Structure 1
Amino acid sequence: MSTGDGWDKSETIPQRLSAIREQLELLASYLDPAALRERVAALEAEMGEPGFWDNQTAAAKVNGEHAKASRKLQGFEQLQADAEDLDALVEMAAEDPEMAGELAEQIASVETRLAALEEERLFSGPYDAGDALVTINAGAGGTDAQDWAEMVLRMEMRWADKRGFDVELLEVSPGEEAGIKSATFKVTGDNAYGLYGAEKGVHRLVRLSPFDSANRRQTSFAGLEVAPIVDEVDDVEIEDDDLQIDTYRASGAGGQHVNKTDSAVRITHRPSGIVVQCQNERSQTQNKLTAMGMLRAKLLEQRERERQEEIAREKGEAQDVNFGSQIRSYVLHPYTMVKDHRTNHEMGDAQRVLDGDLDGFVRAELLRTAGTATPAS
């Protein structure tokens, strides 16, 4: 029986140990621990130079790279050491049956950590390693759709928390009766953009409507967009004449000051039709700066999408580039099931998924797009 981490727990112990050794070799060829060790040492030397912190921005970038490289190296070295200890544990368990439980735990631990590290190989895009700007929009379905959009927002933010990401809610536009029309949040952490790329598309909900007096079944839709956040986007040109900037009073959390001033900012980029808004900051100036960063990120994502479309056309590949492409269904009635239509990955415990358990779905999609899994028929 296959589990969400990609390992088949019905395999025998020798088979699992063999698979672990094979995956470690592949991971070592990808990570190149020797080169990674040299890079960590070089960064440490740079951080030890006089005046390193004089340029705070550059220093923070180096410090961040050092922390990420160190975590990756230490994780691999510890995993390698624990994997090597498994052979000794197997021998001990053969002589002492009471050791069987500890052996099973250690194998499962190594498999889980190996799957997490191996995830690194699935990110090949130019922005996959960076942070992400995630936008949720209510689709067709009226009040039910707006309520569903809020549920998707909660689910995606909870998943980010489970992954250990930093999450900042930038804007929420409340629905007329319930839920939200749209919301945008920023996710900061390793591979945030690469991971959230697997959630991009339309999420479909089937349930008994809590807003229908007859309690009839309702189908609702919510769309999820993802844009990369990068430090330097000088090549994304934005002309002042192309912008329409509107201010309005922020709604929702923020305190008395926010609600009494036109601090929220909405920017429309006329050539692309992209609209961004920010209301989480206290001042209009801060909201405008944040909104401009959001606009650059979305323009960058649009350009990257167009580049992928061009590559697909040159290869003669049919590619669905529609924002409306449905990726996953969440059925709460007449049975409970969440199924991804791209990979056929599914889970019967819908509430667990809605509470942010998305790792299995995301990993299945990353494997599919990396060409290491069979796509859904």
Structure 2
Amino acid sequence: MAINTDHLNELYERVDALRGYLDYEKRKVRIIELTEQTQNPEFWNDPDKAQSIMKELNHEKSLVEGWDNLNDLRDSINVYLEFQEMGEDVESDIQTEYTKLEKALDEMELRNMLSGPDDHRDAIVTFNPGAGGTESQDWGEMLYRMHTRWAEKAGFKISVIDYQDGDVAGLKSATIEVQGDNAYGFLKAESGVHRLVRVSPFDSNARRHTSFCSVFVAPLIDDTIEVNINESEVELQRFHSSGAGGQNVNKVETGVRLIWEGELSDGSTQKVVAECQQERSQLQNREKAMVLLKSRIYELEKEIQEAEKAKLEGSKSKNEWGSQIRSYVFDDQRVKDHRTNYETSDVGGVMDGDLDEFIKAYLLQDAEV
């Protein structure tokens, strides 16, 4: 099949436009600056700062190299087109490179939408099933698996920070850390309440049940972000580590739970809980739990600012915490996102982590706001 010249020229124009959107030249200069910093003999004297610089360097490189790849594919297509004009049979080669360019360009344009100040950060994802006992706890476990499967397919690293088994099946609560470039930028699309409608396998009368589970996504903050909380407002609880994230199970109280109750910038009082049982010592778990606590408070403050901005602009907040964002109706073979109206009948694929189209629809809508 011959390549549509108009469509090819349109792709080329998008490649050129993306170069400008990315601030390509500015990023190349930044890469040189960061690389020079890494060559300082004292660079690793401050490990936390060094890791932050390395992360920024890798992020900048990935964007520059991503555009370079697009340009290489364009050059390759042009070479094959010249061969074709000379009578060479290279139609299949052109089609192959064309398909690669189209796919890579879509991916890079999507990444370009992740321009928020925290989009590049790692993500903290917490699952909290609603009331409903075993059915809701099983739904929590299904969402936990769905999101970890998506993260694995996307090439992210996953660490289980806390996992509390359900009474019969599923989970009572769980928290994971998803590490990788733009983890928060993508996963912020999943923050909200997820609703399941199905015939419950735990109901002997095979009745249809509705269950809810909240998924809360926060960026993992570092030393570049300051979150001030009064230590006297933080309650420390210790518990025996257990479940999927546990170590030293039932031997010593290494698990740590931090509970903060205080006032946010809008005057509201919030109770925020952070647990960690992934580390071997109580001290390490406490330090990690404090980072989680501050990350969640930071995300709540971001949502307040977003809501205030939306109010001033006369628009709806993109993702109000506690709002129902998506329904999964198993009997009807339908999953629908209520923010974007994107839906699919591929329930099995979605539950196995095929979330890209939902995330893309959210980011596209977000970019238009």
Partner residue of 1:257 out of 231, 248, 252: 248
1:107 pairs with 2:107? no
Report the CA distance shift for 1:256/1:71 in structure 2 as closer, same or farther (over 3 A).
closer
Report the CA distance shift for 1:15/1:216 in structure 2 as closer, same or farther (over 3 A).
farther
- Contact 1:159/1:356 (<8 A) preserved: yes
1:326 pairs with 2:317? no
1:53 pairs with 2:57? no
1:172 pairs with 2:172? no
* SS of alignment partner, residue 370 of structure 1: helix
Partner residue of 2:11 out of 1, 10, 20: 20
The alpha-carbon deviation at position 41 of structure 1 amounts to 2.1
Letter in 2 for 1:212: D
The alpha-carbon deviation at position 291 of structure 1 amounts to 0.8
* SS of alignment partner, residue 70 of structure 1: helix
- Contact 1:258/1:282 (<8 A) preserved: no
- Contact 2:34/2:53 (<8 A) preserved: yes
Report the CA distance shift for 1:18/1:225 in structure 2 as closer, same or farther (over 3 A).
same
Partner residue of 1:36 out of 27, 32, 45: 27
Q: Aligned equivalents of 2:350 and 2:162: distance in 1?
A: 24
Report the CA distance shift for 1:27/1:310 in structure 2 as closer, same or farther (over 3 A).
same
Q: Aligned equivalents of 1:303 and 1:230: distance in 2?
A: 13
Report the CA distance shift for 1:250/1:51 in structure 2 as closer, same or farther (over 3 A).
closer
1:141 pairs with 2:132? yes
Within-5 A mapping of 1:1-377: 13-90=4-81, 92=83, 99-232=90-223, 235-253=226-244, 257-271=248-262, 272-319=270-317, 322-333=320-331, 335-371=332-368
Identity among equivalent positions (%) equals 39
- Contact 1:138/1:148 (<8 A) preserved: yes
* SS of alignment partner, residue 335 of structure 2: strand
The alpha-carbon deviation at position 163 of structure 1 amounts to 1.3
- Single out whichever of 353-362 and 45-54 deviates more from structure 2: 45-54
Report the CA distance shift for 1:262/1:45 in structure 2 as closer, same or farther (over 3 A).
closer
* SS of alignment partner, residue 248 of structure 2: helix
The alpha-carbon deviation at position 92 of structure 1 amounts to 5.0
Letter in 2 for 1:38: V
- Report the TM-score when normalising by structure 1: 0.88
Report the CA distance shift for 1:105/1:12 in structure 2 as closer, same or farther (over 3 A).
closer
Q: Alpha carbon RMSD of aligned pairs, Å?
A: 2.4
Q: Aligned equivalents of 1:338 and 1:15: distance in 2?
A: 36
- Report the TM-score when normalising by structure 2: 0.90
Report the CA distance shift for 1:102/1:329 in structure 2 as closer, same or farther (over 3 A).
farther
Q: Aligned equivalents of 2:243 and 2:254: distance in 1?
A: 13
Equivalent position of 2:266 in the other structure:
none
* SS of alignment partner, residue 274 of structure 1: strand
Q: Aligned equivalents of 1:201 and 1:11: distance in 2?
A: 45
Letter in 1 for 2:299: E
- Contact 1:93/1:103 (<8 A) preserved: no
Report the CA distance shift for 1:214/1:11 in structure 2 as closer, same or farther (over 3 A).
farther
Report the CA distance shift for 1:204/1:215 in structure 2 as closer, same or farther (over 3 A).
same
The alpha-carbon deviation at position 11 of structure 1 amounts to 12
The alpha-carbon deviation at position 256 of structure 1 amounts to 7.2
* SS of alignment partner, residue 286 of structure 1: helix
Which consecutive residues of structure 2, in runs of 5 or more, have no partner in the other structure?
A: 263-269
1:19-45 per-position Cα deviation (integer Å, ceiling 9, x unaligned):
311211221101232222222222222
* SS of alignment partner, residue 279 of structure 2: coil
